[in-house]
Structure 1
Amino acid sequence: MSDRLPMLLAALGKRLPSERLTTLQQQLHQADGPADEGFHRWAAAQQAAGLAFQLTEMRIAWQQEAPQLPGSALALSLGAVAAAREDTEDEPTELVVSGPTSPAIPVRLTSSVAVDVIRSAREALVIASFAAFGIHEIVSELRAAAARGVHTDLLLEESTSAVRAFGSLGSRVQVWHPTDTSARRSLHAKVIAADRHTALLGSANLTGRALRDNIEVGVILRGSHVGRLVDHLRWLTRPETGLLQAQ
């Protein structure tokens, strides 16, 4: 028997937050087998980035490798994955600040953390910022990341001309702007996500003052939450959402 079905179930168990995993288990409990039409329709209707495809792959492997198993057996397997995940909690978040530091709690400075996160990427970076300028060190790190084969998506607010800060990178990065250029919706997120393992979230834009001098706060996020954050940001860039467009 191939191990593809267990691997696909494990991937779903790691990806989905607890409430979504519970919903999947409930749907599987109602499925007699891989050909169950109700489960097929539910799986095809899932909107999260790549989830419908992931569920289809799981259903195909189920049909090919263990068609005799009822959905309740797969639901039980997912329950075991969820229990194991609870036993290995994600690494705790760390606090990050710009500007003055206090003796209240140990923190790291935004400027150095931003560089560390970019350097930790081996495959992909997803970066979002409302404004960007005066960030020569960040641009240098992105150029170095591109040289080692890292693909970078920059989600930037067009009204602030943030893209100018990255002009020297040319085709080394992919830039995305909101399709809605009215004041009703701005791209206000500030994120640097490396692969699916580490992300810097905070109030600081990618500007020299925000990274060093302004009073800003943020956190370093690690573990499964990063993957879900990356999935959301990449979903924003999908053509069918109509939310962001490539420059």
Structure 2
Amino acid sequence: MSSLPPPRRSQGELRRENAATQLPEILVAVCSRLPEERLTAWQEVLRQSDGPDDPLLDQFTNAQFASGLARQLVEVTRAWRADAPELTGAALELAVAAVRAIPRPSPVQPVISGPIGPATQARLTGGVVLEVIRSARSSLLIATFAAHGVVDGVEEVRKAVGRGVTVDLLLEESTGASAAFTRLPDEVRVWHRHSAGTGVLHAKLIAADRHTALLGSANLTDRALSDNIELGVVLRGTEAVGPLVDHFRWLTSPGSGVMSRV
């Protein structure tokens, strides 16, 4: 006896099923990308929202300047509307909180300067520089070939010193990089390479403690953080960041003969 074929599902049912599989993935992607303070702000907006058509969601989305982020937030709203429009924002906020509570490895985040496409999922260098500096609680290590015109960045370094962070600046003096930091407190340790027997310091690194690092092509200059075509990555976790910090600590150690304190 032949079995009856399964009943055909409507297009609406198929769309809802597809959205049900998409929404969790989209939530995880957004939570993995947003920094902690912006995730908290997004949760507050969700908590105040009545549903996927609440204008508060559009206001928050339109205020995001990171490349591709607004598109991801729009995808969340679309999947929410298609799958469970009866859910309140508070209910979706609980889902976001659950995602944040699950320990998971942080993905490498691309960071760019210069022209960006509407679908590019990367963060902007200037904002990431400030975020990494602000995240330092005990130590901050900055290496750059050139530096000028980064008033906001220098101010964040000054604030880091004020909250007790030990700051080391490894600078290429042939470019006059140290001039950008002359107004910082005396507690900041500035290092230059020895002129004899070593190549130029061309590395660009900002490492907060041993948990977060920005590694890329951009110098700490106004053009490199905004106009130039630059590329970098944000690394998180001691397994990835620790060896980078250890290498630069060795460069400044007396036994290396590479860097000396000014």
| The two structures share one fold, judged by TM-score above 0.5 | yes
Aligned to 2:145: 130
**Structure 2 residue aligned with 1:160, among 152, 160, 175?**
175
Residue 144 in structure 1 maps to residue 159 in structure 2: yes
Cα 1:181–1:89 change in 2 (3 A) is farther
User: Of residues 217, 242, 248 in structure 2, which corresponds to 1:203?
Assistant: 217
- Asked which structure has the greater CA Rg, the reply is 2
Q: Which has the higher contact order (CA 8 A, sep 6+)?
A: 1
Cα deviation 1:109-153 (Å, max 9, x = unaligned): 000000000000000001000000001001100010000000110
Structure 1 residue 241 and structure 2 residue 235: aligned? no
Query: Which residue does 1:214 correspond to in 2?
Result: 228
Q: What does residue range 1-247 of structure 1 map to in structure 2 within 5 Å?
A: 90-180=105-195, 185-223=199-237, 224-247=239-262
Question: How far is 1:102 from its partner?
Answer: 1.7
Tell me how far 1:212 sits from its aligned partner.
1.0
| Inter-partner Cα distance in structure 1 for 2:144 and 2:203 | 6
Normalised by the length of structure 2, the TM-score is: 0.59
Q: Distance in 1 between matches of 2:248 and 2:108?
A: 20
Q: State the AA in 1 paired with 2:215.
A: L
CA RMSD of aligned residues (A): 1.4
> Per the alignment, do residues 230 and 90 of structure 1 end up closer, same or farther by CA in structure 2, a change over 3 Å counting?
farther
- Is the partner of 1:164 in helix, strand or coil? helix
* 1:172 CA drift (Å): 3.1
Residue pair 2:158, 2:185 contacting (<8 A) in 1 also: no
SS in 2 for 1:201: strand
**3-state SS of the aligned residue for 1:92?**
coil
Any stretches of 5+ residues in structure 1 without a counterpart? Answer: 1-87
Separation in 2 of the partners of 1:178 and 1:199? 22
Show CA shifts across 1:39-62 (max 9, x none).
xxxxxxxxxxxxxxxxxxxxxxxx
Tell me the equivalent position of 2:5.
Answer: none
Offset at residue 89 of structure 1 (A):
7.1
What is the letter of the counterpart of residue 152 of structure 2?
E
Asked whether the equivalents of residues 145 and 203 of structure 2 are also in contact (C-alpha less than 8 Å), the reply is: yes
| Percentage of pairs with the same residue | 57
AA in 2 matched with 1:91: S
Q: How far apart, CA to CA, are the structure 1 residues paired with 2:151 and 2:120?
A: 30
Note if contact 1:143-1:172 (Cα within 8 Å) is conserved in structure 2: no
- Secondary structure in 1 aligned to 2:255? helix
Give the aligned partner of residue 44 of structure 1. none
- What amino acid maps onto 2:257 in structure 1? G
- Residue segments in structure 2 that go unaligned for 5+ positions in a row: 1-102
- State how far apart, in whole Å, the 1-side matches of 2:196 and 2:113 are: 30
C-alpha deviation, 1:104, in angstroms: 4.7
Decide whether aligned partners of structure 1 residues 152 and 205 sit closer, same or farther in structure 2, where only a CA change above 3 A counts. same
TM superposition outliers: structure 1 runs of 4+ over 4 Å? none
How many Å apart are 1:103 and its aligned residue? 3.5
Greater share of helix? 1
- Any idea what SS the aligned residue of 2:245 has? helix
Cα separation, 1, equivalents of 2:253 and 2:104 = 31
Give the Cα separation in 2 of the matches to 1:194 and 1:131: 20
Alpha-carbon distance between aligned partners in 1 of 2:116 and 2:135, rounded to the nearest angstrom: 25
How big is the shift at 1:90?
Answer: 4.0
> How much does 1:181 deviate?
5.0
Aligned residues, how many? 159
Deviation at 1:203, TM superposition (A): 0.4
Q: 1:101 to 1:181 in 2, by over 3 A?
A: farther
CA contact (8 A) 1:127 1:155 kept: yes
Separation of aligned partners in 1, 2:128 and 2:137: 16
